Amino acid sequence: MTGKYFGTDGVRGRVGRSPMTVDFALRLASAAARVLAPAGGRVVIGKDTRVSGYMFESALEAGFVAAGVDVMLIGPLPTPGVAYMTQRLGCSFGVVISASHNPYEDNGIKFFDAMGSKLSDELEQRIERLLDGPVVTQESQHLGRATRIDERRTQYQEFCASTIPAGADLKGYKIVIDCANGAGYKVAPRVLADLGAEIVPIGCSPNGRNINDGCGSMAPELLQLTVPGVRAQVGLALDGDGDRVVMVDALGRSVDGDQLLYILATARQSAGDLKGPVVGTVMSNLGLEHAFAQRGIEFRRAQVGDRYVLAMLNEAGGTLGGETSGHILCLDKTTTGDGLISALQVLAVMRQTGAGLAELAAAMPKYPQVLLNVRVERKFDPMAEPSVQKAAALVERRFNGRGRIVLRASGTEPVIRVMVEGYDAALVKNGAREIAAVVEAAARGQ
């Protein structure tokens, strides 16, 4: 479900434009309070490091307090940290102010229920139905209270560290950690250091405007240069809100979410701990599917978006899934995608096996894959356009059954994603460019 305001990951957009305005945030808080805590309750609010986060934090605080909900302000904390603290603190629901991997000009607001899980479609629809109504203000005796609880983030740090095997540590590892100048800049380096690793931090100096700017999981080039430059064994890069991770081996080569998912799944299989199928998405590399088949691991594909991966895991009784972007779900450890916890699981496999990241990732072959983002003014279904259908069919015939094409509108950005994958790198590259050009023309109405 994609509603009028809610997309695949909460409400998101350019700050100052609808819906990311102060008055909308106030109305959203009032509506959410009536749906998620109708008899009063408690909410924890976390955020990333965008300069606009302060503004939206204040607006949400006002709306919740006016509706009779107590507010706990925990400051900058990764999205999965807010999910964990929602449950840990016994809150009725949790809120994160973040636009994840988007540039600082954007921001977003997303919710967790009392169990630290993302809201159901039905709850989002109920909130949307109240958004056009007036903001509720209770009488003084029924107003909520607001409290800052920044020091409680250490509870999330302790939880992250507890997800690796008892007695395990990271002593002897030199790790470069890139926090994208985002929400993980305080907790992630501290967790790794507390576990005994030698830390080289980059992307840990946010100024409100440099989140995801040439750093983090969306731009790991600096990490790839730094890891071999400082002779570290491994590097990891989070995105702006800390729910994604990509890793870098000792030679500076990137290891994406598909490869990390393969490492975790095969380690769990070897230990007898793998439950149900592993779930990826339509964008997951074909090499991952083939590698799992060789190991006898069932693999399923969901729509793009961690909520769809989660839904399929719950339906099938699985505990491990993820996306190529590095948004990995380890449901045997936590309730939502957590970049730091996912990285810790991989580091634990490295420690247990004595293998380097490159060796662990090498067992999964990767088909050449190109992903192009075509920016558009209006969202549309690319495969409903005859010109796009024709171009995609033409490219697909060239692969002769040994390639895939996926076209879809992003749920979080005004772009059409064009993914082409196949056995021949040149065919993949040229095919992606051809289809992207046709999509761009269709978007302009040509």
- Least Cα distance to 419 among 262, 285, 225, 258 occurs for 285
Catalytic residue among 30, 100, 325, 342: 100
Bridge partners of 147? Answer: 72
Q: Which residues of 425-442 are buried (b: 16+ CB within 10 A; e: fewer)?
A: eebbeebbebbbebbbeb
Residues in Cβ contact with 36 at an 8 Å cutoff, skipping those fewer than 6 apart: 43, 92, 93, 111, 113, 123, 127
Do residues 405 and 435 touch, judged by C-beta distance below 8 A? Answer: yes
Element (H, E) at 245: strand 245-248
Task: Please state, as a whole number, how many other Cβ atoms lie within 10 Å of the Cβ of residue 171.
Answer: 10
Classify burial at 192, counting beta carbons within 10 Å of its beta carbon; exposed 0-12, middle 13-18, buried 19 or more.
Answer: buried
Based on the residue annotation, tell me whether 410 is a catalytic residue of this protein. no
Rg (CA), the chain: 22
What's the rounded Cα separation, in Å, for the pair 433 and 317?
39
What's the rounded Cα separation, in Å, for the pair 227 and 314?
37
DSSP state of 73: E
What's the rounded Cα separation, in Å, for the pair 245 and 260?
9
What's the rounded Cα separation, in Å, for the pair 172 and 50?
35
- Dihedral of CA atoms 244, 70, 108, 22 in degrees, nearest 10, equals -160
Whether the bond between 368 and the residue before it is cis, its omega within 30 degrees of 0, is no
DSSP state of 118: B
Residue 391 tokens read as 């171009």
- Active site residues per annotation: 100
